[in-house]
Structure 1
Amino acid sequence: MENEIGDEAVQERPGLARLLAWYAIFGCILFSVMILIADFVVPGHDWIADTISDLGAGEYEYIVDIGIYAFSASLISVALLAAHIHLGNWRWSVGIVGFTVLGLIVFLVGARNEYGDNDSDGVVIHSYLVYALGLLMAILPWSMSEGARCCGAIYARILVGLSALWTVSAPVFFMLPTDVDGLYERYLGVIAMATVITLAMLFLRRQGRG
Protein backbone atom coordinates (compact mmCIF):
# COMPACT_ATOMS: atom_id res chain seq x y z
CA MET A 1 0.00 0.00 0.00
CA GLU A 2 1.48 3.33 -1.04
CA ASN A 3 1.72 6.00 1.62
CA GLU A 4 1.39 9.05 -0.60
CA ILE A 5 -0.69 12.18 -0.45
CA GLY A 6 -2.50 13.15 -3.62
CA ASP A 7 -2.21 16.56 -5.27
CA GLU A 8 -5.69 17.50 -4.09
CA ALA A 9 -4.68 16.98 -0.46
CA VAL A 10 -1.62 19.24 -0.61
CA GLN A 11 -3.06 22.21 -2.47
CA GLU A 12 -3.43 25.63 -0.89
CA ARG A 13 -6.33 26.04 1.51
CA PRO A 14 -7.99 29.41 0.80
CA GLY A 15 -10.00 29.38 4.02
CA LEU A 16 -6.91 28.87 6.16
CA ALA A 17 -4.96 31.49 4.22
CA ARG A 18 -7.70 34.09 4.62
CA LEU A 19 -8.10 33.34 8.33
CA LEU A 20 -4.40 33.79 9.00
CA ALA A 21 -4.14 36.90 6.82
CA TRP A 22 -7.11 38.62 8.43
CA TYR A 23 -5.82 37.76 11.89
CA ALA A 24 -2.40 39.21 11.01
CA ILE A 25 -4.14 42.50 10.22
CA PHE A 26 -6.41 42.28 13.28
CA GLY A 27 -3.43 41.67 15.58
CA CYS A 28 -1.78 44.87 14.35
CA ILE A 29 -4.98 46.84 14.93
CA LEU A 30 -5.42 45.36 18.42
CA PHE A 31 -1.81 46.18 19.30
CA SER A 32 -2.35 49.81 18.26
CA VAL A 33 -5.64 50.05 20.17
CA MET A 34 -4.17 48.61 23.39
CA ILE A 35 -1.23 51.01 23.26
CA LEU A 36 -3.65 53.90 22.73
CA ILE A 37 -5.79 52.74 25.67
CA ALA A 38 -2.73 52.46 27.89
CA ASP A 39 -1.63 55.96 26.83
CA PHE A 40 -4.82 57.32 28.40
CA VAL A 41 -5.12 54.93 31.36
CA VAL A 42 -1.58 54.96 32.78
CA PRO A 43 -1.24 57.93 35.17
CA GLY A 44 1.40 60.51 34.29
CA HIS A 45 2.32 58.83 31.02
CA ASP A 46 3.95 60.99 28.35
CA TRP A 47 3.48 59.29 24.96
CA ILE A 48 6.17 61.45 23.38
CA ALA A 49 8.86 60.78 25.97
CA ASP A 50 7.89 57.36 27.35
CA THR A 51 8.52 54.23 25.32
CA ILE A 52 6.17 51.26 25.09
CA SER A 53 8.46 49.51 27.57
CA ASP A 54 7.85 52.36 30.03
CA LEU A 55 4.14 52.12 29.34
CA GLY A 56 4.21 48.39 30.05
CA ALA A 57 5.72 48.77 33.51
CA GLY A 58 3.64 48.75 36.64
CA GLU A 59 -0.01 48.27 37.50
CA TYR A 60 -1.39 48.45 33.95
CA GLU A 61 1.18 46.26 32.23
CA TYR A 62 -1.52 43.75 31.25
CA ILE A 63 -3.00 46.27 28.80
CA VAL A 64 0.27 46.53 26.89
CA ASP A 65 0.87 42.79 27.21
CA ILE A 66 -2.41 42.01 25.44
CA GLY A 67 -1.30 44.14 22.51
CA ILE A 68 2.18 42.65 22.46
CA TYR A 69 0.85 39.08 22.44
CA ALA A 70 -1.64 39.96 19.70
CA PHE A 71 1.15 41.37 17.53
CA SER A 72 3.34 38.35 18.29
CA ALA A 73 0.55 36.13 16.99
CA SER A 74 0.32 38.31 13.87
CA LEU A 75 3.99 37.65 13.14
CA ILE A 76 3.49 33.92 13.64
CA SER A 77 0.45 34.08 11.33
CA VAL A 78 2.62 35.60 8.59
CA ALA A 79 5.17 32.82 9.08
CA LEU A 80 2.45 30.16 8.84
CA LEU A 81 1.05 31.79 5.71
CA ALA A 82 4.46 31.95 4.08
CA ALA A 83 5.11 28.30 4.91
CA HIS A 84 1.70 27.24 3.61
CA ILE A 85 2.11 29.27 0.40
CA HIS A 86 5.81 29.19 -0.45
CA LEU A 87 6.43 31.82 -3.13
CA GLY A 88 10.19 31.95 -3.37
CA ASN A 89 13.59 30.38 -3.02
CA TRP A 90 15.95 30.35 -0.05
CA ARG A 91 15.17 34.00 0.72
CA TRP A 92 11.50 33.17 1.23
CA SER A 93 12.50 30.27 3.48
CA VAL A 94 14.69 32.63 5.51
CA GLY A 95 11.64 34.85 5.87
CA ILE A 96 9.53 31.98 7.20
CA VAL A 97 12.07 31.14 9.89
CA GLY A 98 12.72 34.82 10.57
CA PHE A 99 9.08 35.75 11.15
CA THR A 100 8.70 32.74 13.43
CA VAL A 101 11.69 33.85 15.50
CA LEU A 102 10.47 37.45 15.43
CA GLY A 103 7.09 36.38 16.78
CA LEU A 104 8.79 34.51 19.61
CA ILE A 105 11.00 37.51 20.39
CA VAL A 106 8.00 39.84 20.63
CA PHE A 107 6.24 37.28 22.84
CA LEU A 108 9.28 37.13 25.13
CA VAL A 109 9.38 40.92 25.39
CA GLY A 110 5.89 40.76 26.87
CA ALA A 111 6.38 37.61 28.92
CA ARG A 112 9.65 38.66 30.56
CA ASN A 113 8.19 41.95 31.82
CA GLU A 114 11.61 43.61 31.74
CA TYR A 115 10.30 47.08 31.11
CA GLY A 116 11.12 50.44 32.57
CA ASP A 117 10.66 49.41 36.21
CA ASN A 118 14.26 48.50 37.07
CA ASP A 119 13.37 44.81 37.16
CA SER A 120 16.54 42.81 37.69
CA ASP A 121 15.11 39.45 38.74
CA GLY A 122 17.28 36.89 36.96
CA VAL A 123 19.12 37.49 33.71
CA VAL A 124 17.86 40.64 31.99
CA ILE A 125 17.61 39.98 28.25
CA HIS A 126 15.35 42.83 27.11
CA SER A 127 18.15 44.72 25.35
CA TYR A 128 19.29 41.61 23.50
CA LEU A 129 15.74 40.91 22.35
CA VAL A 130 15.44 44.48 21.06
CA TYR A 131 18.70 44.19 19.11
CA ALA A 132 17.61 40.89 17.58
CA LEU A 133 14.22 42.36 16.68
CA GLY A 134 15.90 45.32 15.01
CA LEU A 135 18.18 43.14 12.93
CA LEU A 136 15.38 40.83 11.80
CA MET A 137 13.11 43.72 10.84
CA ALA A 138 15.87 45.09 8.62
CA ILE A 139 16.31 41.76 6.81
CA LEU A 140 12.90 40.11 6.60
CA PRO A 141 10.95 42.50 4.35
CA TRP A 142 13.79 42.38 1.81
CA SER A 143 14.00 38.61 2.19
CA MET A 144 10.31 38.23 1.27
CA SER A 145 10.32 40.80 -1.52
CA GLU A 146 11.45 38.52 -4.36
CA GLY A 147 8.69 36.01 -3.69
CA ALA A 148 6.18 38.82 -3.18
CA ARG A 149 6.77 39.91 -6.76
CA CYS A 150 4.79 36.83 -7.84
CA CYS A 151 1.67 38.58 -6.52
CA GLY A 152 2.53 42.02 -7.86
CA ALA A 153 5.56 44.24 -8.28
CA ILE A 154 4.00 46.79 -5.93
CA TYR A 155 4.34 44.38 -2.99
CA ALA A 156 8.02 43.83 -3.75
CA ARG A 157 8.67 47.57 -3.95
CA ILE A 158 6.83 48.24 -0.70
CA LEU A 159 8.73 45.52 1.16
CA VAL A 160 12.11 46.69 -0.13
CA GLY A 161 11.17 50.25 0.81
CA LEU A 162 10.12 49.21 4.32
CA SER A 163 13.34 47.26 4.76
CA ALA A 164 15.42 50.27 3.70
CA LEU A 165 13.37 52.66 5.84
CA TRP A 166 13.78 50.46 8.91
CA THR A 167 17.52 50.01 8.30
CA VAL A 168 18.01 53.76 8.17
CA SER A 169 15.57 54.64 10.96
CA ALA A 170 16.12 52.02 13.66
CA PRO A 171 19.70 52.96 14.68
CA VAL A 172 18.59 56.57 15.22
CA PHE A 173 16.39 55.41 18.11
CA PHE A 174 19.44 54.65 20.25
CA MET A 175 20.84 58.15 19.67
CA LEU A 176 17.73 60.10 20.61
CA PRO A 177 17.23 61.95 23.89
CA THR A 178 14.75 60.30 26.22
CA ASP A 179 12.25 63.14 25.92
CA VAL A 180 11.29 62.15 22.35
CA ASP A 181 12.18 58.46 22.00
CA GLY A 182 8.65 57.32 22.86
CA LEU A 183 7.20 59.01 19.80
CA TYR A 184 10.01 57.70 17.60
CA GLU A 185 9.49 54.15 18.86
CA ARG A 186 5.86 54.37 17.76
CA TYR A 187 7.05 55.43 14.31
CA LEU A 188 9.20 52.28 14.15
CA GLY A 189 6.18 50.28 15.25
CA VAL A 190 4.23 51.63 12.29
CA ILE A 191 6.96 50.35 9.95
CA ALA A 192 6.79 46.90 11.55
CA MET A 193 3.00 46.76 11.31
CA ALA A 194 3.11 48.02 7.71
CA THR A 195 5.34 45.05 6.87
CA VAL A 196 2.89 42.59 8.40
CA ILE A 197 -0.13 44.21 6.74
CA THR A 198 1.59 44.32 3.34
CA LEU A 199 2.28 40.59 3.49
CA ALA A 200 -1.25 39.86 4.73
CA MET A 201 -2.75 41.85 1.85
CA LEU A 202 -0.47 40.00 -0.56
CA PHE A 203 -1.90 36.66 0.55
CA LEU A 204 -5.46 37.98 0.51
CA ARG A 205 -4.98 39.18 -3.05
CA ARG A 206 -3.64 35.76 -3.99
CA GLN A 207 -6.84 34.24 -2.64
CA GLY A 208 -8.92 36.69 -4.64
CA ARG A 209 -9.82 38.96 -1.73
CA GLY A 210 -7.12 41.64 -1.92
Structure 2
Amino acid sequence: MGWPVLLLLVGLASAAPDWQDSGWGSHATSIISVSNGGPWGDWAWPEMCPEGSYATGVSFKVEPPQGVAGDDTALNGVRLFCSPPGVSGTSSTVESQSGRWGRWSEPRWCPHRGHLVSFALRVQAPRRRLLSDEVAATNARFACSDKHVLEGPGTEQGEWGSWSPLCPGAVCGIQTRQESPGGLQSDDTALNDLRLLCCKK
Protein backbone atom coordinates (compact mmCIF):
# COMPACT_ATOMS: atom_id res chain seq x y z
CA MET A 1 0.00 0.00 0.00
CA GLY A 2 1.44 3.41 -1.01
CA TRP A 3 1.84 6.26 1.44
CA PRO A 4 -0.82 8.52 -0.18
CA VAL A 5 -3.42 5.77 0.15
CA LEU A 6 -2.31 4.93 3.70
CA LEU A 7 -2.59 8.57 4.75
CA LEU A 8 -6.07 8.80 3.22
CA LEU A 9 -7.17 5.70 5.12
CA VAL A 10 -5.85 7.18 8.34
CA GLY A 11 -7.68 10.43 7.53
CA LEU A 12 -10.92 8.55 6.90
CA ALA A 13 -10.61 6.73 10.20
CA SER A 14 -10.00 9.95 12.13
CA ALA A 15 -12.86 11.72 10.35
CA ALA A 16 -15.38 8.89 10.76
CA PRO A 17 -17.26 10.36 13.76
CA ASP A 18 -17.93 13.65 11.93
CA TRP A 19 -19.06 11.81 8.80
CA GLN A 20 -21.36 9.60 10.82
CA ASP A 21 -22.88 12.59 12.60
CA SER A 22 -23.63 14.25 9.27
CA GLY A 23 -24.91 11.08 7.57
CA TRP A 24 -21.91 10.87 5.21
CA GLY A 25 -19.76 7.81 4.92
CA SER A 26 -21.04 5.94 7.98
CA HIS A 27 -20.87 2.68 5.99
CA ALA A 28 -17.65 3.44 4.05
CA THR A 29 -14.61 1.33 4.91
CA SER A 30 -11.82 2.95 2.84
CA ILE A 31 -10.93 5.55 0.21
CA ILE A 32 -9.08 5.00 -3.07
CA SER A 33 -7.18 7.77 -4.85
CA VAL A 34 -4.65 8.44 -7.61
CA SER A 35 -1.34 10.34 -7.44
CA ASN A 36 -1.63 12.57 -10.53
CA GLY A 37 -4.54 14.86 -9.61
CA GLY A 38 -4.33 18.61 -10.22
CA PRO A 39 -3.15 20.96 -7.42
CA TRP A 40 -5.85 23.65 -7.52
CA GLY A 41 -9.04 24.03 -5.55
CA ASP A 42 -10.46 22.48 -2.40
CA TRP A 43 -11.97 19.12 -1.54
CA ALA A 44 -15.75 19.30 -1.59
CA TRP A 45 -18.19 17.25 0.47
CA PRO A 46 -18.35 13.47 -0.08
CA GLU A 47 -21.61 11.98 -1.35
CA MET A 48 -22.59 8.38 -0.67
CA CYS A 49 -24.82 5.82 -2.34
CA PRO A 50 -27.70 4.74 -0.07
CA GLU A 51 -26.58 2.02 2.32
CA GLY A 52 -26.78 -1.37 0.61
CA SER A 53 -26.29 0.01 -2.92
CA TYR A 54 -23.14 0.47 -5.00
CA ALA A 55 -21.93 2.41 -8.03
CA THR A 56 -22.83 0.49 -11.18
CA GLY A 57 -22.55 3.29 -13.73
CA VAL A 58 -21.03 6.70 -14.30
CA SER A 59 -21.60 9.93 -16.26
CA PHE A 60 -19.13 12.70 -17.08
CA LYS A 61 -19.59 16.48 -17.31
CA VAL A 62 -17.22 17.75 -20.00
CA GLU A 63 -16.63 21.14 -21.62
CA PRO A 64 -15.40 20.71 -25.23
CA PRO A 65 -12.19 22.46 -26.35
CA GLN A 66 -12.66 26.25 -26.48
CA GLY A 67 -10.14 27.05 -29.22
CA VAL A 68 -6.83 28.89 -29.17
CA ALA A 69 -8.13 31.99 -27.39
CA GLY A 70 -10.54 30.15 -25.08
CA ASP A 71 -10.21 28.97 -21.48
CA ASP A 72 -10.44 25.16 -21.36
CA THR A 73 -11.74 23.38 -18.28
CA ALA A 74 -12.36 19.94 -19.87
CA LEU A 75 -13.64 17.54 -17.16
CA ASN A 76 -15.97 19.38 -14.77
CA GLY A 77 -17.77 16.61 -12.91
CA VAL A 78 -18.36 12.90 -12.35
CA ARG A 79 -21.73 11.41 -11.38
CA LEU A 80 -22.13 7.89 -9.97
CA PHE A 81 -25.26 5.81 -10.53
CA CYS A 82 -26.07 3.57 -7.56
CA SER A 83 -28.01 0.29 -7.53
CA PRO A 84 -28.62 -2.49 -4.99
CA PRO A 85 -26.78 -5.77 -5.73
CA GLY A 86 -28.33 -7.77 -8.56
CA VAL A 87 -30.68 -4.96 -9.64
CA SER A 88 -30.54 -3.41 -13.11
CA GLY A 89 -31.09 0.33 -13.40
CA THR A 90 -30.59 3.23 -11.02
CA SER A 91 -31.89 3.79 -7.52
CA SER A 92 -30.02 7.08 -6.97
CA THR A 93 -27.22 9.32 -8.25
CA VAL A 94 -24.37 11.01 -6.35
CA GLU A 95 -21.77 13.48 -7.61
CA SER A 96 -20.15 15.63 -4.88
CA GLN A 97 -19.35 19.09 -6.35
CA SER A 98 -19.21 19.69 -10.12
CA GLY A 99 -17.95 22.62 -12.19
CA ARG A 100 -20.32 24.97 -14.02
CA TRP A 101 -19.13 24.30 -17.58
CA GLY A 102 -19.97 21.54 -20.04
CA ARG A 103 -22.73 18.97 -20.39
CA TRP A 104 -23.40 15.59 -18.83
CA SER A 105 -22.78 12.53 -20.97
CA GLU A 106 -25.13 9.59 -21.23
CA PRO A 107 -24.50 7.06 -18.45
CA ARG A 108 -22.00 4.28 -19.03
CA TRP A 109 -22.86 1.04 -17.21
CA CYS A 110 -20.90 -1.91 -15.90
CA PRO A 111 -22.12 -5.02 -17.77
CA HIS A 112 -23.42 -8.20 -16.13
CA ARG A 113 -24.76 -6.23 -13.14
CA GLY A 114 -21.20 -5.41 -12.10
CA HIS A 115 -19.99 -2.50 -9.98
CA LEU A 116 -17.12 0.01 -10.01
CA VAL A 117 -13.89 -0.97 -8.25
CA SER A 118 -11.12 1.40 -9.48
CA PHE A 119 -10.42 4.55 -11.51
CA ALA A 120 -7.74 6.53 -13.36
CA LEU A 121 -7.49 10.21 -14.31
CA ARG A 122 -6.12 11.96 -17.37
CA VAL A 123 -4.56 15.22 -16.18
CA GLN A 124 -2.68 18.08 -17.80
CA ALA A 125 0.25 18.73 -15.46
CA PRO A 126 0.69 22.36 -14.30
CA ARG A 127 2.46 24.45 -16.93
CA ARG A 128 3.02 27.53 -14.76
CA ARG A 129 4.02 29.63 -17.77
CA LEU A 130 2.86 33.10 -18.70
CA LEU A 131 -0.33 32.97 -20.82
CA SER A 132 -0.56 29.16 -20.58
CA ASP A 133 -4.03 27.65 -20.17
CA GLU A 134 -4.15 25.39 -17.11
CA VAL A 135 -6.76 22.64 -17.47
CA ALA A 136 -6.10 19.98 -14.75
CA ALA A 137 -8.32 16.86 -15.08
CA THR A 138 -9.44 16.22 -18.65
CA ASN A 139 -10.92 12.69 -18.56
CA ALA A 140 -11.47 9.65 -16.34
CA ARG A 141 -11.71 5.87 -16.62
CA PHE A 142 -13.53 3.50 -14.27
CA ALA A 143 -12.91 -0.24 -13.97
CA CYS A 144 -15.83 -2.58 -13.30
CA SER A 145 -15.75 -5.74 -11.22
CA ASP A 146 -15.50 -7.83 -14.42
CA LYS A 147 -12.52 -5.69 -15.63
CA HIS A 148 -14.67 -3.84 -18.19
CA VAL A 149 -13.51 -0.19 -18.48
CA LEU A 150 -15.86 2.80 -18.73
CA GLU A 151 -14.07 5.80 -20.28
CA GLY A 152 -15.43 9.34 -20.40
CA PRO A 153 -15.75 11.58 -23.47
CA GLY A 154 -13.10 13.99 -22.19
CA THR A 155 -10.45 15.85 -24.15
CA GLU A 156 -7.02 14.66 -25.32
CA GLN A 157 -5.03 17.10 -23.19
CA GLY A 158 -2.68 15.71 -20.57
CA GLU A 159 -1.53 12.18 -19.74
CA TRP A 160 -3.18 9.18 -18.16
CA GLY A 161 -1.94 8.34 -14.67
CA SER A 162 -1.80 4.97 -12.96
CA TRP A 163 -4.90 3.15 -11.81
CA SER A 164 -6.01 3.60 -8.23
CA PRO A 165 -5.92 0.61 -5.87
CA LEU A 166 -8.90 -1.73 -6.11
CA CYS A 167 -11.78 -1.29 -3.70
CA PRO A 168 -11.86 -4.23 -1.29
CA GLY A 169 -15.62 -4.31 -1.85
CA ALA A 170 -17.37 -1.87 -4.20
CA VAL A 171 -17.36 1.88 -4.87
CA CYS A 172 -20.15 3.52 -2.89
CA GLY A 173 -19.27 7.23 -2.79
CA ILE A 174 -17.37 10.10 -4.37
CA GLN A 175 -15.49 13.25 -3.36
CA THR A 176 -14.16 15.84 -5.81
CA ARG A 177 -11.52 18.55 -5.67
CA GLN A 178 -12.81 21.61 -7.49
CA GLU A 179 -11.32 25.01 -8.23
CA SER A 180 -14.03 27.64 -7.88
CA PRO A 181 -14.71 29.92 -10.88
CA GLY A 182 -12.33 32.87 -10.85
CA GLY A 183 -14.39 35.38 -12.77
CA LEU A 184 -13.73 37.35 -15.94
CA GLN A 185 -10.23 36.94 -17.42
CA SER A 186 -9.34 34.15 -14.99
CA ASP A 187 -7.79 30.81 -15.96
CA ASP A 188 -10.26 28.21 -14.64
CA THR A 189 -9.54 24.49 -14.24
CA ALA A 190 -12.77 23.14 -12.59
CA LEU A 191 -12.27 19.47 -11.59
CA ASN A 192 -8.73 18.74 -10.39
CA ASP A 193 -8.86 15.47 -8.48
CA LEU A 194 -11.13 12.68 -7.33
CA ARG A 195 -11.49 10.19 -4.48
CA LEU A 196 -13.82 7.21 -4.37
CA LEU A 197 -15.21 5.71 -1.17
CA CYS A 198 -15.49 1.94 -0.80
CA CYS A 199 -17.98 -0.23 1.10
CA LYS A 200 -18.12 -3.91 1.92
CA LYS A 201 -20.30 -6.12 -0.29
TM-score, normalised to structure 2's length? 0.31
Higher alpha-carbon Rg:
1
Q: Which has the higher strand share?
A: 2
